[in-house]
Amino acid sequence: MSGYGDFSSFYDALMTDVDYAARADYLLRLFERHGEKPNSILDIACGSGSLLAELQKRGVDIIGVDGSDAMLMRAREKLGAETLLLRQDMCELDLYGTVDGAVCTLDSLNHLCRTEQLAEVFRRARLFVEPHGLFIFDVNTIYKHREVLGDTAFVVEQPGLMCVWRNRYVPRTHEVSMLLDFFTEAADGSYERYQDTVRERAYSERTLRTLLSDNGWETVAVYEDMTTDAPQDTCERMVFVARNTRTVEQAKLGE
């Protein structure tokens, strides 16, 4: 799992290229495309709550789960006191009831670097999504880890903030270890340095389909990000739409 310690302080500033309104609309269109119109949605690894805020604006009852206190504090500022936000590791998901559907976006599942962890997320999500409900999630692809992130370095500069981002790629597992150095400008013109590390692993479509099937989900579609097109060889992010195969009878029996 990745740290998101100091990174949480700069997350929103570095994610300005993400159109959360468009992403919320896209996810709701995918639910509708596959025959669902959820009244309640769980956002697994909700981060600072920007997507939750957009879903909330669209009349959806929302629940956010994240493993970072710092991220949830920022989410609380955006969403208000009434929104249910839970501090939980996604592998230990445990809700008070069920939701109509669930989402997990912006490569959050890539932070799980063992297949056993992914399997546990899928297994537990099945318990809390209504029978036949949908779980929609996205993942970075092997292509992106190998060809785009790889053994590269990036520098991001914004007023008062600079981030130096250095990656190390492991071909055998398609993991990328990221060392992030943040430099923030103080009032006197000096800079303070913060450091964080993030580790991600990319999985093949076949592996993800198998893990879903083994843990009670049917893969009903896989798309290239923000489209309804099949992923191409150069696709950097895949979106999975999975349906819970749990029946009403199984849910009543707690199976």
**Segments of 48-140 assigned E as strands:** 61-66, 84-87, 99-104, 129-140
What are the residue boundaries of the structural domains of the chain, listed by start?
7-140+203-253, 144-201
Superfamily of domain 7-140+203-253: Vaccinia Virus protein VP39 (3.40.50.150)
User: Is the distance from CB of 43 to CB of 72 less than 8 angstroms?
Assistant: no
Read off the pTM. Answer: 0.93
Q: Which fold has domain 144-201?
A: N-terminal domain of TfIIb (2.20.25)
The confidence band for 9, taking pLDDT boundaries of 50, 70 and 90, is low
pLDDT for position 251: 80
CA 81 to CA 150: how far, in whole Å? 41
Q: What is the mean pLDDT of residues 70-74?
A: 91
Polymer length of the chain: 255
CA 92 to CA 72: how far, in whole Å? 17
pLDDT for position 13: 67
CA 158 to CA 36: how far, in whole Å? 40
pLDDT for position 241: 98
Per the listing, tokens 């919320």 go with: 24
Please, where are the H alpha helices in 2-135? 7-14, 20-33, 50-57, 69-79, 115-128
Share of the chain above pLDDT 70, in %: 94
